[in-house]
Amino acid sequence: MWNTFLSVITHYKDYFAAGGYGLLLFLCLLYFAAGTKKSPDQKALFWPTLIMLLVIFCPVTAKIIMKMVGEDVYWRTFWVLPVVILAASAGTDLIVMIAGRKKQILAVLLCTAALALNGTFLFNGEYFQAKENNYKLPTEVIWVADAINEHALENKIKLKKIAAPYSVATYIRVYDASIRQKYGRLAEQNGNGRTQLYVEVNSDDPDYEVLAERAQKAKLRYVVLLSAADNEEAMNAINYEKVYTSPSYAVYFNRYYEKD
């Protein structure tokens, strides 16, 4: 249980990072707890938040939650804590209690500075970048999806089932959900045939025979390869036809399904 508690503390530190919002959460709760006359809204915030904190930090409940959602993502439980609402309510209540207009203005400035200095400025290159297109997706992924759709339409291919590298698979489902995939983003962790297919498709030097075998078993219509793995002669030998190429990817059609 002690190890579970230490894990919770680690997740707490990771979630709030070096900022002071973790401390601000507890200061707001102490402020509400010390108040002799709490409003109904403050009571509605205080007790549920306190209960949530006890559930999150209690080793027994934490161990159960970790088993359900996974220990590596336990930090997400801190999402349920209404830190922003608590800070707004406590700050407003504190400012209203102060007598004098000038003192209230000073208190507003101090509270604003406390929030700003303890946070992280988001509008920088680490978190944002200029969009490549209106879909806010990698442009080459859109090209790949459009090429598959165009080929499927021209050749009356009804089921657009594909296997693609991770860099394509994670975005193409967002762009066009009609393009079905054999595996999800956690395919590498699955101990079955999908793992081998995932490995081959993401390789710069795949085993084309294994790729063909796994793709046929999965009844794939299309296979997307990395440009480094693009060997048209080898793909033709396993009955695949190139239908599109871009700087980073090559799209092949399984000729077995020419009359889909």
Q: What is the reported pLDDT for 24?
A: 86
Neighbours of 205 (CB within 10 A): 10
Determine, yes or no, domain membership for 128: no
Q: Give the DSSP H/E element, type plus range, for residue 233.
A: helix 232-237
Q: What is the reported pLDDT for 259?
A: 63
Of 64, 84, 118, which residue is a domain's last?
A: 118
pLDDT (tens digit per residue) in 183-204: 766 665 554 445 788 899 999 9
Determine, yes or no, domain membership for 134: no
Q: What is the reported pLDDT for 194?
A: 55
Q: Of 7, 6, 19, 22, which Cα lies nearest the Cα of 74?
A: 7
Q: Of 155, 153, 170, which Cα lies nearest the Cα of 241?
A: 155
Q: Where are the alpha helices (DSSP H) in 17-82?
A: 21-34, 40-57, 59-69
Shared-domain flag, residues 146 and 242: yes
Domain tally, the chain? 2
Q: What is the reported pLDDT for 187?
A: 60
CA 253-168-175 angle, to 5 degrees, is 95
Shared-domain flag, residues 98 and 143: no
Of 118, 148, 173, which residue is a domain's last?
A: 118
pTM over 0.85: no
Shared-domain flag, residues 76 and 179: no
Domain extent, residue 179, equals: 139-257
Shared-domain flag, residues 92 and 176: no
Shared-domain flag, residues 111 and 173: no
Determine, yes or no, domain membership for 106: yes
For every one of its 260 residues, what pLDDT tens digit does the chain have, with 9 covering 90 and above?
888 999 999 999 888 876 788 888 888 888 888 876 667 777 788 889 999 999 999 999 999 999 998 888 999 999 999 988 888 888 888 888 888 888 999 989 988 888 888 777 777 767 777 888 899 999 999 999 999 999 999 999 989 999 999 999 989 989 999 999 887 666 655 544 457 888 999 999 999 999 999 999 999 999 999 999 999 999 999 999 999 999 999 999 999 886 65
Shared-domain flag, residues 100 and 187: no
